Amino acid sequence: MKRTLLFLAVACLFIACNKGDDPAPSNNNNNNNTNPYYFKFKLDGTDYNLTSNLAQYMSAYPEDAGGYQMSGPLTYPSVGIRLLYDSVVSDAQVKALAGKTLYFGQTNPRLSMTFEANGSAEALESIDTANTSYNIKVTSVTYLKKDTTIFNPIDAYVIKGTCSAILVDPATMKKSALTAGEFNYIISRVNK
């Protein structure tokens, strides 16, 4: 008799708890899994919204600061900003970008942008121009962390701002307009 009651109790438990009774997952939970990093822009009228949460550091040269934003982890398209300085980039120089407008054609830092639609095509590269309507306006720069997991240790920062640029395909010399750019993404500098 005890076995029969135990069997019935277990059977009722399995019948009462089926997958259809599980509540729908809520988007309003305490685990905030949203990605704060993005780079939105138009390129020749086509909208892009790149939102990968995998940081693409610029970590080879101590005279550079910058980074890339991709559409997904290690997927294209990607867009990048590079700032080339006359000497090793310091923490103070990166933080001093906040509130500044940078122009293509200026020096220290020399500004460049790239756009790569896929891994097999030539990357579009910014050109220097005297037209000051093409620029990068940096709203804020916030120190994020030190990362020693790659070949050069880096300091990572979150940079926020707006941008526009003329990009050229080096193979065809066709010019493209990058407009309505907004970004909040990770850049880096080598920390030796």
**Mean pLDDT on 130-140:** 95
Q: Is the pLDDT of residue 29 over 50?
A: no
Mean pLDDT of 164-168: 97
Q: Where are the domains of the chain?
A: 36-190
pTM exceeds 0.85 for this model: no
The average pLDDT across 97-114 equals: 94
Sign of the torsion formed by the C-alpha atoms of 43, 98, 127 and 55: negative
Neighbours of 86 (CB within 10 A): 10
Look at 30-44, 80-94, 98-112 and tell me which has the smallest mean pLDDT.
30-44
Partners of 50 in the β-ladder: 39
Q: What is the pLDDT of residue 155?
A: 95
- Per residue in 68-91, pLDDT tens? 999 887 789 999 999 999 999 999
Can you give the pLDDT at residue 7?
36
How many CA atoms within 13 Å lie on the side-chain side of 181? 30
